[in-house]
């Protein structure tokens, strides 16, 4: 209001016209900028935090030594974001009634395509804390309840040079197994 009065008193007509034109254009520019920013925020609202580990299944399990097992995991990951991510440095721990039984890791990396659920195969190496416990399990499998076993998984989600940690704790082992992985032993 004050500026309008100031312009009418102290500026020539052509300058007032330019200022008023600029003022109208600046309002349109501001409106377009706000609209563009809001569209950008809505379209990028899904981020790495929305990535979810849907399902993990043990496909193959093979004894590689007295202290380690090799396994192939089928992993389903949901990436609702519009950006491609990479999952790498998979590590985890297996617990039986809260006691650490084994740890595992993988050097494999998988691509998480945007707006999709991807099925991936990952090879992991399990290092046993107490190899004799596995041998006793193999000797009498009916005494061990797989519902007592849980898994904690950690993985790094990367996008370019950015790295974000992801973890899922307390996954039940019995839901990860299609059938008894030791049936061939």
pLDDT in tens, 16-35: 666 666 665 566 665 666 66
75 plus 148 within the same structural domain: yes
> What's the total number of domains in the chain?
2
Rg of the chain taking only CA atoms, in angstroms: 29
7 plus 60 within the same structural domain: no
37 plus 116 within the same structural domain: no
pLDDT at 123: 92
Largest CA distance in the chain: 100
96 plus 145 within the same structural domain: yes
Last residue of a domain, one of 28, 43, 58: 43
Sign of CA dihedral 141, 142, 147, 148: negative
Measure the CA–CA gap between 90 and 157, rounded to whole angstroms: 10
Domain ranges, residue 36: 2-43
Whether the predicted pLDDT of 71 surpasses 80: yes
54 plus 32 within the same structural domain: no
- Intra-chain end-to-end CA distance of the chain, in Å: 87
Full-model pTM: 0.68
């Amino acid at each position: 209001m004050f500026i309008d009065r100031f312009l009418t008193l102290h500026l020539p007509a052509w300058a007032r016209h330019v200022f008023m034109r600029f003022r109208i254009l600046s309002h349109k520019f501001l409106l377009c900028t706000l609209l563009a920013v809001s569209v950008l925020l809505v379209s990028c609202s899904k981020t790495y935090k929305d990535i979810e580990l849907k399902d993990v299944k043990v496909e193959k399990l093979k004894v590689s030594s007295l202290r380690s097992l090799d396994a192939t995991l089928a992993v389903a990951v949901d990436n609702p974001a519009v950006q491609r991510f990479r999952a790498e440095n998979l590590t985890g721990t297996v617990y039986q009634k809260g006691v650490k039984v084994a740890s595992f890791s993988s050097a494999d990396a998988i691509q998480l395509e945007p707006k999709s659920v991807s099925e991936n195969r990952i090879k992991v190496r399990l290092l046993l804390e107490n190899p004799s416990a596995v041998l006793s399990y193999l000797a009498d499998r009916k005494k061990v309840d797989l519902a007592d076993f849980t898994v904690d998984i950690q993985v790094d989600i990367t996008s370019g040079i950015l790295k974000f940690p992801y973890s899922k704790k307390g996954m039940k082992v019995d839901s990860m197994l299609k059938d008894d992985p030791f049936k061939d032993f």
